[in-house]
Structure 1
Amino acid sequence: MNYKNLLPVLLLFLAIQANAQLSESQSQAIDSLFLEWNKPFRPGGAIGIMQDGKTVFSKAYGLASMEYLVPNTAGTIFNTASVSKQFTAMGIIVLHQQGKLSVDDDIRIYLPELPDFGETITIRHMLHHTSGLRSLHAMLGLAGWRGDDSRTNEDLNRFMLNQSDLNFKPGDEYNYCNTGYMLMVNIIEKATGEKFPDWMKHTVFEPLGMTNTYVEDNYSRIVANNATSYYQVEENKFERAVEYWGYIGSGNMHSTTSDLLRWLSNFHDPQPDWEAHFQMMQTVDPLNNGEKNNYAFGVVTGSVNSHRTIGHSGSIGGFRSNIITYPDEELSIAILTNFSSSSVGQKSNAISNILMGEPVEEKPVEVRDPVKTIKLSNKTLAAYEGSYWHEKENIARKIYLKNDTLRYYRSASSENPLVPVGKDEFQMADVSDVVSVKFEIKGPDRNMIVTVGDGQPGIFNGFDPTEPSKEELESYTGEFYSQELETTYKIYLKNDSLFYHHARHGDHEMKILKKDVLEGEWPLSNSKYKRNEEDQVTGIRVSNGRVKNLWFEKLK
């Protein structure tokens, strides 16, 4: 054998291996990010890093089971929570590529039992979270589910049959929605004739070499090597998270960091016959008004420190997950943890900073050209004071003058100064983005227009808060029933204060934001009263974030 001819090949191999390894200082810097997780008697997680097609870091910290003192390992299986959505999206993409469905199909082709909302909802809408459908947890919360109550796809399917409205016209807005990804399970099963967990295993996971990844549709099942999750309630105190997550499609795929790194590598080096699939996953479409939506098909497209990224995070019980790939740098990071305060997004960014030569510390706010301010008298500033209401988002803001400066008030713990930059124009200080605030005042009418970065302006209308009379307070009381959720809330008056009562949520005080608008604790977060021509209350429309304007009729 001619060993002389092998020498260049051997040197090339060693060079490739060297490039695929971290330096000692990089490994130590990454390891130091997770030292807290290795303290005695606490949960932790597993971290995997792949660079140039090679796994360069794979370690685990803390306990997979605090009860039995079982440590996490690099091979421990974790619930990936909403990271699961990209796999459901891939299932849809496989069927699209096979011609068995189209992402632009009306979902009622496959789910004819769903109500006709008067608008066409496509699979594409659900992939992008722009369907307008009400989201599972917010909807069931209003129906009476408490945080640790079991919830399943069957629960969702049953409630969806009763829905009569959408949150918004499909394509008009982005609003993160678990419902859409759960309904995709029904679509995949309808198109394939198979159970979703089985089909995903032999169609997606096994072909991609993800041997430790599976869909968990029975949270009572015992599967070896799975971590238990915990909530951190104090610095060194944890409580076990009661498992209630019996739904699939939007979450509850279990996996390991090595399987997830193998998955992420396909975004820059796809396996044979998978290139079109992973390219399609990165599809982004604008909203109906042309505004950008960077939520693609089950993944978020974006950038960190000017480096292009594709990824997703997840949260369920005490499990936290974050996977991200930097396809241009062929760098992928997977973090899976089993405790609630693990800050996986910050950890992932810190790792990328270490590996790409950025400082480990949080980068400072982007330096912008100094704002050219102008001086306005207190008399001029006082003209902008008042309360402002955003009808679409159901939020109130207060503008007031303090120490020669206008203040933008959200709540007792959240307000920012406004700096004048032109006639009727201000810029918000002490925020990470450019937030412009413009006032339009014409006699008694006043509006406030708030624009964040390059986003669409939000219009707030001025209103005058008034102290409600006893008669007005009484008019807010009564029992209110939702046919869509089959549940009743009682609003009552006690010691001149309003409260709501629900059999499962108990009693909570409500606050009047403005006439006929009440604010309460979640899930009855915002209630807008409707009156007839005789000024009698007929019902309320309730919003709580991922449910908007759901109708509750006042019972006689």
Structure 2
Amino acid sequence: MKRSIKRLVAFVFLFLALNNTTAQSIPDSLAQKIDKLFSQWNNPNTPGCAIGVVRNDSLIYAKGYGMANLEYGIPITPETIFHMASVSKQFTAYSIVLLARQGKLRLDDDIHQYLPWFPDLKEKITIRHLLNHTSGIRDQWQLLAIAGTRLDDVITQDHIVKILSKQQALNFKPGEKYSYSNSGFTMLAEIVKAVTGQSLRRFTDSAIFKPLGMKQTHFHDDYTEIEKNRAYSYQRKNLFTFSNSVLSYSNAGATSLFTNINDLSKWVMNFYTPVAGTAADIDQLVQKGKLNNGVELNYALGISSDTYKGYKQYSHSGGDAGFRTYLTVLPELKMGFMVFSNLAEVNTYEKTYQLVDLFIKDTSAKVNADIRMDSSRAIIKDEGRAKNFTGDFISEDGAQFSFVLRNRKLYWERYGNSDLLYPGLKDSFTVARSPEIKFVFSTTPGKSVLVNQYWPDNKRLLVKYATDSIQTDNQLQMYAGLYYCPELDCKYTIVAKDHELILTSNKYNDSKLKLVGKDHLFTDYWWMRHLKTISGNNKKIIGFEVNDGRIMHLRFNKIQ
């Protein structure tokens, strides 16, 4: 009886698998290579992937692997609707581009012209800053999480607007750095609404999706709305089972596009044969951003703009809950590649480029990937001076590096990696394998050792710290207390207990704190992994800042 059931299940899945592929126009041998890439998820017991390959004006290959819904045994097909996460951003950006062409706004307009609710932080923030992730505005997801909102809670557009309207400072001066900020794209959706009187969902439906015939696509701004044929979101529970990864977003702009392989293929074609908008609009969408110092970014307007194998490419990834998505368009070849998944562990970036590599050859100028090390260039003449630069360093945002001297050569070590450094002028060093990364060492009058790290679109300052300072219980007690954030109206408590520091709140499980040096605390929370303590004139701790990832200088004051 059990064998009969297993045979039946296998037969049903085989039947479904034969019906989850569009009519293909590629050789069988190539289709088999694609199947091999996704074979891990080609069964009825796992979530999986949907893939698509576009050439010229056709979707030449599309297929689903695994299940859209494990509870009801519904397989993934090219028609399966996926939540696209940050792949959504290019549609929000394109809405702004279309409105700019209509003369309803300009990319260099101050955002306060359209968003009077956003606080005046004494800096001009433009629409272009939002589009390029150079605004300095703190990221909405981290702000919400710090305030106590879990990302699997219901999160509405109004909820995000309210928390953004209370920001009291920027991460940095607009245009000074690139730092990915989902907040900017929620604000762009609100600008679309302010200019047109329509929600982003309604505007994109009329201006983009209907002209392209994308009938199964929309911004899903109401989590209670029923959507037929949608994939559900999963994460791995253990080796053999999965659990639901809940997503209840009722917001749009940074995320929340619902679409499928068949529909998104039409958007791919719009990059090189525009139907919604014009070629000039596409050129505007993929124009690279620039920092105030003139450094050009690889990020354009809601989409990355660079090259792959010698060809121009426009691409973006996405990840929310268990959804992982990736899209890349190679306009010179009139091709596009898509991989969507409803399982958090799937690396859709890697799988997309494995798929691309089956179709295109490398035409880029050949560069020896194994850069040969010139040991003679790495020899340090003044070894005694170089010893001052060795040790452990930490940055304001919590990056931890070490510099080690071995055989008269200096090495940069971090997170299990080691890189040889070439000495330059005035205590400067460059990374042998990546000469665009530079370190400049200096010493303060108080004998503190500092190092400035530079790379193409950013920089940071690191300070040397002692690793052998053991804290007594009395010293740990200095960190203990109740800390309050006026911007987010939330509290956390640090407790000294059993020779350790514990971070606790009413919303989350407790987290042990790791003390690095005297000023840096590290937590287990993804939303505030690094805290930098603030001391008063009497050297007593009066607060801390959350300096981590997309949040900088978020102040908590010690009130007890």
TM range (shorter): 0.7 to 0.9
In the superposition, relative to structure 1, how do residues 328 and 221 fare at CA in structure 2: closer, same or farther (>3 Å)? Answer: same
Partner of 2:329: 325
Q: State how 1:1-40 maps to structure 2 within 5 Å.
A: 21-40=25-44
CA deviations 1:418-474 (Å, max 9, x no partner) are 355678666657x7886555545699453434445x555544333445344544322
State the alpha-carbon separation in 1 of the partners of residues 532 and 510 from structure 2. Answer: 19
Partner of 2:393: 388
- The counterpart of 1:461, out of the listed 454, 463, 471, is 463
Mapped pair 1:488 → 2:465: no
- The counterpart of 1:249, out of the listed 228, 247, 253, is 253
State the alpha-carbon separation in 1 of the partners of residues 202 and 422 from structure 2. Answer: 61
Partner of 2:129: 125
- The counterpart of 1:166, out of the listed 164, 170, 179, is 170
Mapped pair 1:499 → 2:498: no
Contact 1:162 1:483 in 2 (8 A): no
- How many residue pairs get aligned? The number is 529
Mapped pair 1:81 → 2:63: no
> What letter is aligned with 1:131?
S
CA deviations 1:520-555 (Å, max 9, x no partner) are 222332222223323333322112311111111111
- The counterpart of 1:224, out of the listed 223, 228, 234, is 228
State the alpha-carbon separation in 2 of the partners of residues 111 and 425 from structure 1. Answer: 44
- The counterpart of 2:297, out of the listed 262, 274, 293, is 293
Contact 1:146 1:505 in 2 (8 A): no
Per-residue deviation, 1:333:
0.9
Per-residue deviation, 1:47:
1.1
Q: Secondary structure at the match of 2:47?
A: coil
In the superposition, relative to structure 1, how do residues 377 and 100 fare at CA in structure 2: closer, same or farther (>3 Å)? Answer: closer
Mapped pair 1:62 → 2:66: yes
Mapped pair 1:418 → 2:431: no
State the alpha-carbon separation in 1 of the partners of residues 102 and 457 from structure 2. Answer: 37
Mapped pair 1:278 → 2:296: no
CA deviations 1:468-521 (Å, max 9, x no partner) are 454432221111111111100111111222111111112111122222322222
Mapped pair 1:472 → 2:475: yes
Question: What fraction of aligned residue pairs are identical, expressed as a percent?
Answer: 30
State the alpha-carbon separation in 2 of the partners of residues 445 and 318 from structure 1. Answer: 45
Partner of 1:304: 308
Which consecutive segments of 4 or more residues in structure 1 shift more than 6 A?
402-405, 431-434
- The counterpart of 1:155, out of the listed 155, 159, 184, is 159
Contact 1:89 1:127 in 2 (8 A): yes
Q: Secondary structure at the match of 2:358?
A: helix
State the alpha-carbon separation in 1 of the partners of residues 435 and 209 from structure 2. Answer: 40
Contact 1:372 1:421 in 2 (8 A): no
Contact 1:407 1:415 in 2 (8 A): no
State the alpha-carbon separation in 2 of the partners of residues 508 and 146 from structure 1. Answer: 16
Q: Secondary structure at the match of 1:56?
A: strand
Gap runs ≥5 in structure 2? 1-23
Per-residue deviation, 1:195:
2.8
CA deviations 1:339-367 (Å, max 9, x no partner) are 112211111111221111359xxx99824
Instruction: Give the aligned CA root-mean-square deviation in angstroms.
Output: 2.8
How does the TM-score come out when normalised to structure 1?
Answer: 0.88
Partner of 2:358: 354
Contact 1:291 1:456 in 2 (8 A): no
State the alpha-carbon separation in 2 of the partners of residues 457 and 132 from structure 1. Answer: 14
Per-residue deviation, 1:79:
0.8
Partner of 2:517: 514
Per-residue deviation, 1:387:
2.3
